[in-house]
Amino acid sequence: MDSTNFYAERLVKEKKVPEGTVIRAHEQTAGKGQGDNVWLSEPSKNLTISMILYPGFLPVGQQFFLNKAVALGVIDFVHTLLPPGSCKIKWPNDICYGSSKLGGILISHTISGNSFDTSIIGIGINVNQTRFDPSIPNPVSIKQIINNETDTESALNSLISKLDHRYNQLKKGDLSRLDHEYRNNLLGFDEERRFKKDKDLFNGIIRDVDHFGRLIIETSDRKRLTFSHKEIEFIF
């Protein structure tokens, strides 16, 4: 398969499939990451899936709440295998263990008028892979952390269950809980961190992520700056 997201996009164009349909690839030849990034994965070693959702209940202006729900579902899942609190969400959609990348999320939307038509949720999690392409910065897998193989079939069922739970929270309108727990699991939240914008380095504290997914950082002189994806870089 080229990419689970590409396959899901083709599928929804052909017919209306049930909400929650999951496409899983044992091997991807063109896995997608954020922007132009590629997700490289050894065959049958990891979880590489796409889920099809129809979040028409969610106003377009609150689109990032879907990201929050999905990211929390992934965090809930990895913490069934790893110590609670050991992983964080690195804005906007990476899952990190310390400074190493354990997984990533890519969400694409189709919008009709002022509401969502279809959302395709792409998720990649390093499970049993231990050798990575040198071009990938700081990767890590669950196996490298716990020194043990994980059954990917049972892991997939657990991941889907956690995603379903968080999506149901979103459907019920429990936005304050999702917001609170997302911030609590956000890497660098309320902590002084080092950032890079263009060629400039500066210290700042992550104070929030707004409804459009923009990162809000308070600088040392108490200014609050807002950044979109790719405008700023974490320095570990």
pLDDT given for residue 61 in this prediction:
86
Rounded to the nearest 10 degrees, the angle between the axes of helix 152-171 and helix 175-184 is: 130
pLDDT given for residue 31 in this prediction:
47
Q: Where are the alpha helices (DSSP H) in 37-151?
A: 64-78, 142-146
Cβ distance 128 to 45 under 8 Å? yes
pLDDT given for residue 115 in this prediction:
81
Q: Is 112 exposed, middle or buried (0-12, 13-18, 19+ CB in 10 A)?
A: exposed
pLDDT digits (tens, 9 = 90+) for 94-131: 999 999 999 999 999 998 888 888 999 999 999 999 99
Nearest to 2 by CA among 23, 30, 26, 25: 30
pLDDT digits (tens, 9 = 90+) for 31-46: 444 444 454 567 789 9
pTM of the model: 0.91
When pLDDT is averaged across residues 181-190 and rounded to a whole number, the result is 96
pLDDT given for residue 153 in this prediction:
96
> Hey, what domains does the chain have and what are their CATH numbers?
4-184 (3.30.930.10), 192-235 (2.30.30.100)
pLDDT digits (tens, 9 = 90+) for 200-219: 999 999 999 998 899 999 99
Cα–Cα distance measured from residue 29 to residue 37, given in angstroms and rounded to the nearest whole number = 13
Determine if the peptide bond prior to 43 is cis (ω within 30°): no
> For residues 22, 26, 28 and 33, what is the CA-based torsion angle, rounded to 10 degrees?
60
pLDDT given for residue 20 in this prediction:
96
When pLDDT is averaged across residues 62-79 and rounded to a whole number, the result is 96
Beta bridge partners of 49: 24, 123
